[in-house]
Amino acid sequence: MATGRTELAERRSCVKSAREALAGFGEVLAAASGGKLAELLGVLDEVVALGSAARVSVAVEAARRGEVAGSEVQLWVRQHAPSLRQGGAAAVARIALDVVAAGTGRRAPWT
C-alpha cells in the first residue's frame, strides 16, 4: 500500500505527464474523426473540471495549514495559478477561506 507521500508523488508525476500530453494538442486534432472529436471534448472537459477542483483543494490545504491567510490567499493563488490572474483567483480564495472557516467554526472574515 502506498503511503500518502508516495501517492502524492505518483499523482504529481501523472499530472505532469498530462500537462505534456496537452501541450500542442491542437496540432494533432486533424487526425481525429468527428466522433473522436466529440469524445475528446468530453474527456478534456472532465480533466479540466477535475483540475479545477484539485486547484481549489490545494488552496484549501494551504489556508488550512496557515501557509497563507486572509487576503494573502488570493495573492498566493494568483502567484501560483497564473491562469487565474485575469479572473478566478478571488473565487478560489473565497472558497478556500470559507471551507477553512467552516472547519474551525469561525465565520469567514468578509461575512
**What was the pLDDT predicted at 18?**
95
Q: How far is CA 3 from CA 33, 54, 110, in A?
A: 42, 19, 38
Q: Which three cell numbers mark 20?
A: 505534456
What does R_g of the chain's alpha carbons equal in angstroms?
Answer: 17
- Per DSSP, the residues of 4-71 read HHHHHHHHHHHHHHHHHHHTTGGGGGGG--HHHHHHHHHHHHHHHHHHHHHHHHHHHHHHHHTSS-TT
pLDDT, tens digit, 9 for 90 and up, residues 37-57: 999 999 999 999 999 999 999
pLDDT, tens digit, 9 for 90 and up, residues 47-99: 999 999 999 999 999 999 999 999 999 999 999 999 999 999 999 999 999 99
Cα separation of 100 and 96, whole Å? 6
pLDDT confidence tier of residue 4, bands split at 50, 70 and 90: confident
On whether the pTM is more than 0.85, the answer is: no
pLDDT confidence tier of residue 106, bands split at 50, 70 and 90: low
**What was the pLDDT predicted at 6?**
86
Share of the chain above pLDDT 90, in %: 85
